[in-house]
Amino acid sequence: MQPIQSFYTQLGSPKNIIITSHQKPDGDAMGSSLGLLHFLKLLGHTVTYISPTNWADFLEWMPGCKDVINFEKNKEHCRELVNAADIIFCLDFNILHRVKHFEPVIRHSKAIKVLIDHHELPETSAFDYGISLTTKSSTCEMVFDFIVDSGHDHLINLDIATCLYTGVMTDTGSFRFPSTTASVHRMVARLKETGLQHSPIHDNMFDNFLETRLRFMGNAFLHRMEVLYQYNTVVMSIPKRDIIKYDIKTGDTEGLVNWLLTIRGIKLAAIVIDREEERKWSFRSKGNFDVNIFARLHFEGGGHKNAAGGRSSESIEATTKKFHEVIQQYEKELN
């Protein structure tokens, strides 16, 4: 994988460009992809954002979101678009299996593949150009750097600013996580110069749910949460019947795991949710406990030191039992 700086010359002439992100895109994946899309269109490129799957309803307000194509619902059309592409940007993931069933289409494409991501251990052999910086707060911050460093700061408009602010805000926990560096605040100051109003973005992202979500969360806290004080750990196991009962949609469980860390003394929070094809884990931690390593070792996942995900093909009961067994190995670290 060549450094991203070597790619800048490719921006000079019109290209057919595809942008994609990880499945079930969150605020950072959607924000970075749409922010890059608006920027590349200003340079005269033909650009399409293909999401590997559907996305949360609370992202629909974002500029350009109505034109995003869901691969799972438009497979043949997406294959045609990729086959005609000169360049494919891969944002907010660094291993191709994170695009789910879209993977073989991307992997076998002859287009130039460009990585912009902030997760650990990238699959560098899959990309022609790229940048992978775990020290960055978000992929949105990296897209901002890409725009500025390639000499196009003057093109940052309100649509770009709105998308990039959304992702950096969500991935930094509204600017409270340690990843909120001085460069993040300088970025936000530059985005505000476009006339960006940040309060409506917060409202759209955090105050835009149905009543059923609150009732689901209340049930989860009352009946699905286990506090393991001997390990300073909280684990929550959500069965499929809860998903059905409360009509939970994509994005409705976003941020739930973070609430578990609000309990005094807790250093590790874990949630597993029974999805259609597999059981999905979310891990969060405080301090030096590395959930990236934990997820990679035990739950086929990974991510960041204090925020990671995983998966399991076992039943919800079996994978929860496994968690209870493996956590015993970490009693010393968590105390």
What confidence category does residue 276 fall into, taking pLDDT thresholds of 50, 70 and 90? confident
CATH of domain 2-206: 3.90.1640.10
Separation of first and last alpha carbons in the chain: 41
Residue intervals of the chain classified under CATH 3.10.310.30 are 211-334
| pLDDT score at 193 | 98
Does the structure show a pLDDT above 90 at 120? no
The overall pTM is greater than 0.85: yes
CATH of domain 211-334: 3.10.310.30
The two most distant CA atoms of the chain are separated, in Å, by: 60
Nearest to 280 by CA among 304, 254, 247, 306: 254
Does the structure show a pLDDT above 80 at 182? yes
Does the structure show a pLDDT above 80 at 6? yes
What confidence category does residue 30 fall into, taking pLDDT thresholds of 50, 70 and 90? very high
Give Cβ neighbours of residue 301 (< 8 Å, ≥ 6 apart): 281, 283, 295, 308, 309, 310, 311
Residue intervals of the chain classified under CATH 3.90.1640.10 are 2-206
Sign of CA dihedral 156, 158, 159, 163: positive
| pLDDT score at 121 | 87
How confident is the model over 132-164, as pLDDT tens digits?
Answer: 999 999 999 999 999 999 999 999 999 999 999
Give the Cα separation of 99 and 267 in Å (integer).
30
Write out the chain in H/E/C secondary structure.
Answer: CEEHHHHHHHHHCCCEEEEEECCCCCHHHHHHHHHHHHHHHHCCCEEEEEECCCCCHHHCCCCCHHHCEEHHHCHHHHHHHHHCCCEEEEECCCCHHHHHHHHHHHHCCCCEEEEEECCCCCCHHHCCEEEECCCCCCHHHHHHHHHHHCCCHHHCCHHHHHHHHHHHHHHCCCCCCCCCCHHHHHHHHHHHCCCCCHHHHHHHHHCCCCHHHHHHHHHHHHHCEEEEHHHCEEEEEECHHHHHHCCCCCCCCCCHHHHHCCCCCCCEEEEEEECCCCEEEEEEECCCCCHHHHHHHHCCCEECCCEEEEEECCCHHHHHHHHHHHHHHHHHHHC
Does the structure show a pLDDT above 80 at 271? yes
| pLDDT score at 16 | 98
Nearest to 143 by CA among 39, 10, 22, 27: 39
| pLDDT score at 160 | 98
How confident is the model over 89-106, as pLDDT tens digits?
Answer: 999 999 999 999 999 999
